[in-house]
Amino acid sequence: MVVALGVCLVGSTLTCLASLSAYERYRQAVESPADFRLYARDGGTLDRSLAADLASHPGLVDVTAFRTAEVVESTRSATVSDLDLTAVRSGVGLTARTGSLDRLGPAHVVVDADHAHRLGVRAGDRVTLTFEGRPVRLTVAATLPGAGPYGGDFFVPLVTSPVWERTPRPPRSPPTPRKTARRGGYAHSGPSPTR
């Protein structure tokens, strides 16, 4: 009986360690899905042709351009991004805790777990973000089970959003299949769409 209890204890411990290891791999893959990021100096923007130039480089895979902006939700600042969540090649699929990542359309947003919990929102709820002093009301399309890629808090669609009205999106280069790299380099189109 003591031996059986010991075997159960060891088996349970190994199962818990394997689960924690799998969770940690998922978390790292989602939060840092690329080998590197590029930023413009002094809050500027990167040249629009840079993503296409990098995508044509044979050593890079899945080059993706996206923008970020600082917004205010409630009384705290947060990062909103137009990163295409389906373009994140992290080795693990992004999943939604509530809603669907496929429903990200105009005036919709995907919210990371921390902000969804703090705001008490689920898919279908409305959130108001303040961008450049004006409120932007968005419908929650989905909430993530953890942090968003690249530390993003809110993710808006690639189509024109009220948050991006003044800044055109850089052209998106088509994905080029490569055999070698398992994760790609991502080009960031700038720290903020405002100058």
State the DSSP string of 101-134.
Answer: GGG--TTEEEE-HHHHHHHT--TT-EEEEEETTE
Residue with tokens 């968003």: 148
Nearest-CA neighbor of 181 among 94, 89, 92, 93? 89
- Amino acid identity at 149: P
Contact 131, 71 (CB under 8 A): yes
- pLDDT higher than threshold 90 for residue 124: yes
pLDDT in tens, 74-95: 778 888 888 888 767 655 667 8
pTM of the model: 0.65
